[in-house]
Amino acid sequence: MSRFTAKEIAYLQSQRLVRMATVDAKGDLHVVPVGFRYNPAEDTIDIGGHGFTGSKKYRDALRHGRIALVADDVSPSGTPRFVEVRGTVRAEPVGGTEIRQGFPPEILRVTPTYIVSLGVDDDVVRPAEGQVHFHGRKVT
C-alpha cells in the first residue's frame, strides 16, 4: 500500500519539478527547484539532475539526512494545489535516467515520513471562507 493517495501520485506524475528545501551546517535554509519522479517500486521520491552530486543541496541533504519537497501549481480554475513531502534521504548510485533521459545515474531517494496536500484530494478550497482542506498525515 502506498504512502501517497492515488490522486497525490497522479498529481506528482503530472509535475516536472519540485522545490527541495535543506538546511546547511550553519542552520541556514536553502531551497531550489530540482528534477524528480515518483518511484512506484519504492514508493519514494527520486531526485536528480546534471551536476547534482556536486551541489550544495546534495551535500546538505545527506549531511542532515532529512529534507522537505513541494510540488505546486495553480489549477486551470485558479485554485492553488500542492503536495508537500518531508522525509529521510539517502544517496543511490542509479535511477537518474529514470527521472530524465540524459541525467547522470546518481540520485537522492526520499522516503516520506509526512505528506500534506492541498487542492489535490479535494475539490473545495476556499481560503477566504476559512475552508482550506489540507490532507496532512504522518506516514511510516
Domain limits at 96? Answer: 6-138
Question: In the predicted model, what is the mean pLDDT of residues 53-76?
Answer: 94
Is residue 1 a part of any domain in this protein? Answer: no
pLDDT attached to residue 79: 86
Residues 6-62 have pLDDT tens digits of: 999 999 999 999 999 999 999 999 999 999 999 999 999 999 999 999 999 999 999
Question: In the predicted model, what is the mean pLDDT of residues 60-81?
Answer: 93
Residues 104-139 have pLDDT tens digits of: 999 999 999 999 998 887 654 444 444 444 556 677
Q: Which residues, other chains included, contact 77 with Cβ-Cβ below 8 Å and sequence gap of 6+?
A: none
From residue 108, give the alpha-carbon distance in Å to each of 7, 15, 46, 82. Answer: 24, 18, 6, 21
Position 69 pLDDT exceeds 70: yes
- Mean pLDDT, the chain, integer: 88
pLDDT attached to residue 129: 45
Number of domains in the chain: 1
What are phi and psi for residue 98, nearest 5 degrees? -75, -25
Question: In the predicted model, what is the mean pLDDT of residues 63-91?
Answer: 94
Q: Which residues, other chains included, contact 91 with Cβ-Cβ below 8 Å and sequence gap of 6+?
A: 53, 62, 106, 107, 108, 109
pLDDT attached to residue 132: 47
- Report the CATH number that the domain containing residue 29 is assigned in CATH: 2.30.110.10
